[in-house]
Amino acid sequence: MEQRYSKTHEKPLGDGAQASVWLFHDSILDRPVAIKHFEGVPGIDCEPERERLNREAKLMARLNHPNIPQVYDLISRPDSVQIVFQYIEGESLADRIRRDERLSPPDAAYYFSLLASAIAFLHAKGSVHRDIKPANILIGRDRASVWIVDLGIALITGLDPLTEIHDRPIGTKKYMSPEQLAGERLSGSSDVYSLGLSLYEAVTGRFPKVPFELHCRNTGDPNLDNLVARCLKQNPEERISAADLSLGLNSIKPVPEIPSPELSLFLRNSFLAALKEIRDVINADMGEILRERAPTKDAMLDHILAATELSALMTGYLNVFRLMRVSERAPDCMYVFTGLDNAMNTLARDILLPLEKHAISAKRSRKTGRKKAKPVHDVQRTLKRVLTGFRKLLKKIDGLTNILSASLIGYPFDGDGDKPNEY
């Protein structure tokens, strides 16, 4: 670890009872990273507990969403576990609330629609965050981006929850749902409850009275009041889903006011960053296929999973830019949005469809007992077609990247006046 990652600050970015977060520099990729150091967790020196944390980190690394920091690396030692994350430059919502800088209802709706989208994505992957609070919500320095952080205690469906080790609920008591406080089995509704508490506090600067009755609703926007009330239902089954919350908030929010040239520059750089990540994932998936000489059934399932995750990644970026209303605020960037949407069609038609057809035909062969029967699409032919699809997709992504890069040449300088924004 010391050879690759070097600490750049003597004070932690964040400190908790069981983990601390530090800013490091990755010497190989020459970039800042955040490293979460787990220590003091009961049983951390025992193999079962370390293995549990390792499995959670590996599963979290597969969560590709624009509003969830990416997991880069996992370092496991006999007495500790470190998870290497994407470093986010910004401040927490808790810091803003402490300075009495409340969010206006429109701005709160904007940020929390993106957060709810990320939480919905997390739930769709079978995970529950369990510790949503203003301190775990980061607002980027550009004031147009937001992230949900600290997934270190996320409960992954199918894994034994860490509460069984600690014999008490994990999270921040003030923001826990009633069922989490009671130590009951959790679902995504628990996260929605915590998100509703955070949303109300962000707008009003104070914690809501629970149960959230009609006389408590004073965010300044009736629609926002109603959505918060649906988040804070005592019965988990009566709460709004994270996906519906995102749509509801999106219907009442404008994009935060950013001068038009700055917004256009921010979007161009954001698109470039998104295209780079998509390109890296495509190259990794193509590399896996090219390295295989005799693909197995499990390998084919891995390819389907990888293509599905790529689709989720691209859909996530499209949703984020759609929520930012690119067509209204930066119409000169719409060609990139349209190009990315067309790339999604290529992914569905030329990659996902052949893989799914192969899986279906193989399943039918097994059901009928005709083990020697050739599937409609044999493995080699399917993978050859998939590779062709990946090359088409890569060509589209590279084309958009080249156009974007060319459009940034000679672009106005950023806010500090020293140099253009770079990605």
Burial group, residue 34, by CB count within 10 angstroms (0-12, 13-18, 19+): buried
Q: Which pLDDT does position 61 carry in this prediction?
A: 77
* Highest-scoring range by mean pLDDT, 110-124, 139-153, 286-300: 110-124
Q: Which of 250, 271, 288 is the last residue of a domain?
A: 250
Indicate whether 337 and 393 sit together in one domain: yes
365: pLDDT confidence band, cut at 50, 70 and 90?
low
For residues 345 and 148, the model is more confident at 148
Q: Look over the chain and give the mean of its residue pLDDT values, rounded to a whole number.
A: 77
The residue segments making up the domain with residue 16 are 5-86
Residue 21, classed as helix, strand or coil, is strand
Q: Is residue 73 part of a domain?
A: yes
More reliable by pLDDT, 28 or 266: 28
Q: Is residue 188 part of a domain?
A: yes
pLDDT at 138: 92
390 and 320, same domain (yes or no): yes
pLDDT at 165: 40
CATH number at residue 66: 3.30.200.20
Q: Is the pLDDT of residue 412 over 60?
A: no
Residues 138 and 225 in one domain: yes
CATH of the domain at 223: 1.10.510.10
At 22 the three-state DSSP class reads: strand
Question: Quick check: is 283 in a domain?
Answer: yes
214 and 97 in a single domain? The answer is yes
- Which of 59, 86, 113 terminates a domain? The answer is 86
Q: What is the pLDDT of residues 381-393, one digit of tens each?
A: 788 888 888 888 8
Residues 147 and 162 in one domain: yes
- For residue range 173-224, list pLDDT tens digits in order: 889 999 988 888 888 999 999 999 999 999 988 887 766 654 456 777 888 8
Q: Compute the distance between CA of residue 207 and CA of residue 411 in angstroms, rounded to an integer.
A: 44
What is the pLDDT at residue 367? 55
The reply to whether 351 falls in a domain is yes
Q: Are residues 99 and 191 in the same domain?
A: yes
How far is it, in rounded angstroms, from Cα 150 to Cα 72?
Answer: 14
List CB contacts of 27: < 8 A, sequence separation 6 or more.
3, 4, 5, 6
144 within a domain of the structure (yes/no): yes
Q: What is the pLDDT of residues 138-165, one digit of tens each?
A: 998 777 789 998 775 565 544 444 444 4
Q: What pLDDT is recorded for position 132? A: 93
Q: Which residue has the higher pLDDT, 44 or 250?
A: 250
401 and 279 fall within a common domain: yes
Query: Is 376 a residue whose pLDDT tops 60?
Result: no
Residues 211-263 have pLDDT tens digits of: 665 445 677 788 888 899 899 999 999 999 999 999 899 887 555 555 456 66
Residue whose tokens read 């926007």: 221
State the average pLDDT over residues 71-93.
Answer: 84
CB under 8 Å to 119, separation ≥6 — which residues?
129, 132, 148, 188, 191, 192, 195, 242
Domain count, the chain: 3
- Residue 231 in domain: yes
Question: Which positions are annotated as active-site residues?
Answer: 131
Backbone angles phi, psi at 31, to 5 degrees: -150, 155
d(CA 401, CA 399): 5
Domain boundary among 86, 112, 136: 86
- pLDDT at position 24 is 92
